[in-house]
Structure 1
Amino acid sequence: MSTTDPLAPRAPWLTHAILIAGVILFAFPIWIVLVGSTHDAATIGRGEVPLLPGGHGLENYLTALGRGSSSLAGLGVGPMLFNSLVMALSVAVGKIVISFASAYAVVFFRFPGRMLAFWAIFITLMLPVEVRIFPTFKVVSDLGLVNTYAGLIIPLIASATATLLFRQFFMTIPDEFVEAAKMDGAGPLRFLWDVVVPLSRTNMAALFVILFVYGWNQYLWPLLVTTSADVETVVIGMVKMIGSEANTEWNIVMATCVLSLLPPVAVVLLMQRWFVRGLTETEK
């Protein structure tokens, strides 16, 4: 009697069918937004969102970049995209630099209270954002950093998660590397630049992608700390575009949504190889 699983020949087709269904489930709303951004406001206002692109795409995107929605009082989304880009890049780079330095100190230096410092950082993971956000806003307000890039960025650049991940990676670096560096007369900074940083490039790249998307999608903190259009991010701008059903220019809103997708998608595509290597490589 054959012991072959009768479902085995169909398994690849079943797997592909499930994957295709998953792709459609996630991609269909994005397709609707993309198509809606190419139609006029009247078509969408009637609740008719066709499945094929229309002929108003260029007009809608130029309007979004130029004057924006009527809810934005003539302010285009171009400056908002720039603000989001500055915020996302600064948050990602700042988190990596500070977390990298913190983890390096905890792993490779011996000083009193070393583990106490690490656990003090780690325990912040257990605090919900809502618990920390109002005290943080009070500090930012007292320092006069409301409606500034500094107030938008600095409170977000500390990351206990990134510190933990770097610490776990640094602990996998063989002790022989440390001993060889000492025998060569390398100090802490030279060991950092010549050994630790090159070994950590893929990890930093993977974290950069994650942290860039995290910074780009921030909503609650920018909503609190920005009241001026000069430093508003595109996420806040999209929320402001959505007013009453009758006054919302959905074609411009959808065009703005598509524009806001481009930078994070570009980062993920450009750094995809590094991102995968950073998540999968275990041996250094």
Structure 2
Amino acid sequence: MIEKRPIGALLAHFILIIGILIVAFPIYYTFVASTLTSPEIMAPPMPLLPGGHFLENYGGAFGGIGTIGGVGVGRLLLNTTIVALTIAIGKIIISILSAYAIVFFSFPGRMLFFWMIFITLMLPVEVRILPTYQVIVDLGLIDTYTGLTLPLIASATATFLFRQFFMTIPDELIEAARIDGAGPVRFFKDILLPLSYTNIAALFVILFIYGWTQYLWPLLITNDNNMNTIIIGLRKMISFVDADTQWNLVMAITILAMVPPIAVVVLMQRWFVKGLVDSEK
């Protein structure tokens, strides 16, 4: 039995609180700035308490004041949500099917295909950006959701994680499924998918945030402001001259941009943690 040590527990909680404050303070400071006017933000020192312009700034962010190149914040958030969901769901579907084929089917060169997939970890989008962009241009996918998501939809990491999990499935379970007459589709749908729910949930949270925070690829692949994501929109709001930047609206839109990924993490926290640490399958 582990002995309880009040001093150790107190020290652990103190360190944890300090860490939370360090992480949370920039977010709080951004929220405070989103409730002030732009002159108040530019005049140091900026207050540490929220101001009285919350409704004005957030209303302006969603209203005509907050348009970026004639495009409202709602449209930018919609674009980013579509991109993030498509990337997350697409990566999970392709990865789980690839891992299923590699682990449970015997065909010539299956390990070669696996290692070819795994090696792509060393070739991120930034490395293959020019040929990928040329392919998208040749296919006429500039300023489309397909062009925004297709090059980012495969994931060697997720394939590897699903493969490692599938390899822990006992042979007795596979034999029992065969005796019951379960074919490949039924075995995948009725046995593997339910066992993989926690892994899928954990990966979904990670991949959704990955898709939400994409910057370089959407910057290259979109020319029409209507297809911009919220990250690109924020960048366009910031001028090289501080006086020309409406910092109060920038901060308000920044807070709005953080709400969806934070909501996903909070709502799926239990599944996310269970998918990372639970080993009882």
CA deviation after TM superposition for structure 1 residue 73, in Å:
3.7
Superposition pairs of residues 45-84 of structure 1, within 5 angstroms = 45-69=42-66, 72-84=68-80
Change (3 A) 1:263 1:250: same
Does 2:107 match 1:111? Answer: yes
CA deviation after TM superposition for structure 1 residue 275, in Å:
0.6
Partner of 1:250: 247
CA deviation after TM superposition for structure 1 residue 11, in Å:
2.4
Change (3 A) 1:178 1:68: farther
Partner of 1:133: 129
Partner of 2:89: 93
Is contact 1:104-1:167 (8 Å) kept?
A: yes
Partner of 1:173: 169
CA deviation after TM superposition for structure 1 residue 69, in Å:
4.3
DSSP-derived class of the 2:127 partner: helix
Larger CA deviation: 248-257 vs 20-29? 20-29
Partner of 1:5: none
- Give 5+ residue unaligned stretches, structure 2: none
Which residue, 199, 202, 210 being the options, matches 1:203?
199
Query: TM-score normalised to the size of structure 1?
Result: 0.94
Is contact 1:32-1:49 (8 Å) kept?
A: no
Deviations 1:173-207 (A, max 9, x none): 11111111111111100000010000000100000
Identity %, equivalent residues:
61
CA deviation after TM superposition for structure 1 residue 45, in Å:
2.4
> Residues of 1 paired with 2:78 and 2:6: CA distance?
52
> Residues of 2 paired with 1:259 and 1:111: CA distance?
49
Query: TM-score normalised to the size of structure 2?
Result: 0.95
Is contact 1:68-1:75 (8 Å) kept?
A: no
> Residues of 1 paired with 2:146 and 2:62: CA distance?
25
Amino acid at match of 1:265: I
> Residues of 1 paired with 2:65 and 2:279: CA distance?
47
CA deviation after TM superposition for structure 1 residue 128, in Å:
4.0
Is contact 1:152-1:221 (8 Å) kept?
A: yes
What is the number of equivalent residue pairs in this alignment?
276
What's the RMSD between the two structures over aligned residues?
A: 1.3
DSSP-derived class of the 1:246 partner: helix
